[in-house]
Amino acid sequence: PLNTRRMETDKKSVIVFLLLAVIYSPVFGEAWKASVVKNIDALVDSCVVLPCSFSHPGGLLPSSRLRGLWLRGSKKDSFIYSEDETMVMDAFKGRTKMLGVLGKSNCTLEINAVKDHDNGPLCFRIELVKKPNSPPTPEKFSFVEDCAELKMLIETPKPELHHSNTAVSGTSYTVICSVRHTCPSRVPVFTWNRGSKDDIVEIQKDIHSGIWETQSILTFIPNENDDHTDIICTATFSGGKSSKSSIKLNVKRKETYYHIIIPVAVAIGTAVTFGVICVFMLKKYKNRIAELQSREGSMFNRLSRMSRR
């Protein structure tokens, strides 16, 4: 009877173990994967965002069951991000922040005040826990084959200006100032040397693979006094570095019917005046001739009468 009981107990244990294996195998299997942008530009002294996502078999797990970490390379203790700040390397303390929500399979990381030695490789690691603040379970997944490398930029990127070549006085004119960057959480700030806040619209665009673009659109109405003046756009990045670009404004006078009517009217008026003067002078000249002829006729008659005597 004792052996039979033991056998039954062992069978129950095996059944329970198999049930647990079936339940947890989708979660604890080896098919966990992470996806990161492997090469990203990073402006020194600014910030950079490392897009990251992960997947695993089975349904979504709540964030409370997941603990995300970032490491430098494959070294086990070289943490650049952890919820426990005491685990983070001194060189990265206070500079990293998890932007992604782990429960939504998002492991995106932000690095602030980028240093020229932050180049990487930077790798994501995830641990499963039974509840928040509890030690991790043996189920840990380090994605050391999918890591991000940073290309350090020392020179600040210059903004690009897009505009038409000529502005027309009194007509709305638009200039677009744009710059690409890798920190959408702290976008560059634009300033212009003219216009007000009401004249400016800003747009954020996700270009691709960890690259974003910020556009500042200035619309104003130039006048003839703005001809040959400069329009300057300055982009200031997180951390204080800035760069600027400028264009020379070419303003032409707005063409209206008045510019046609007035010269034509002046020409017609001049021609009419000249014609009136000519008619007047001609009439005066004819009258003078008639007067002279009349005088000559009278003189001839007098001479004829004198000769007869």
Q: What is the CA radius of gyration of the chain?
A: 44
Residue in 37, 32, 129, 35 with CA at minimum distance from that of residue 84? 129
Inform me whether the pLDDT recorded for 108 exceeds 90: yes
- Cα–chain-centroid distance for residue 275? 65
Can you tell me the distance from the alpha carbon of 142 to that of 127, in angstroms, rounded to the nearest whole number? 9
Q: What is the pLDDT of residue 137?
A: 76
Q: How confident is the model at residue 2 (pLDDT cuts 50, 70, 90)?
A: very low
What percent of the chain stands above pLDDT 90? 54
Inform me whether the pLDDT recorded for 299 exceeds 80: no
Amino acid at 100: G
Reported as a single tens digit per residue, the pLDDT across 167-194 is 999 999 999 999 999 999 999 999 999 9
Amino acid at 196: S
Q: What is the pLDDT of residue 280?
A: 65
Q: What is the pLDDT of residue 129?
A: 87
Question: 140: which 2 tokens?
Answer: 């840990």
Burial of 114 (0-12, 13-18, 19+ CB in 10 A): buried
Domains along the sequence of the chain with CATH: 28-153 (2.60.40.10), 160-252 (2.60.40.10)
Mean pLDDT along residues 224-239 = 94
Inform me whether the pLDDT recorded for 308 exceeds 60: no
- Cβ-contact 147, 120 below 8 angstroms: yes
User: 135 preceded by cis ω (within 30°)?
Assistant: no
Q: What is the pLDDT of residue 5?
A: 54
Inform me whether the pLDDT recorded for 275 exceeds 70: no
Mean pLDDT along residues 183-210 = 93
Question: 237: which 2 tokens?
Answer: 């990045």
- For the ranges 22-26, 101-105, 223-227, 305-309, the lowest mean pLDDT is seen at 22-26
* End-to-end Cα separation, the chain, in angstroms: 194
Q: What is the pLDDT of residue 23?
A: 41
Q: How many CB atoms lie within 10 A of CB 64?
A: 14
Q: What is the pLDDT of residue 176?
A: 97
Q: What is the pLDDT of residue 50?
A: 96
Mean pLDDT along residues 89-104 = 94
Q: What is the pLDDT of residue 59?
A: 73
| Mean pLDDT score across all residues of the chain | 82
Q: How confident is the model at residue 19 (pLDDT cuts 50, 70, 90)?
A: very low
Q: What is the pLDDT of residue 309?
A: 53
Reported as a single tens digit per residue, the pLDDT across 255-265 is 654 555 666 56
Reported as a single tens digit per residue, the pLDDT across 28-72 is 445 788 899 999 999 999 999 999 999 887 777 888 889 999 999
Residue in 187, 188, 180, 184 with CA at minimum distance from that of residue 236? 188
Q: How confident is the model at residue 20 (pLDDT cuts 50, 70, 90)?
A: very low
What percent of the chain stands above pLDDT 70? 73
Residue 135: HSE in the Cβ half-sphere, 13 Å Cα cutoff: 2
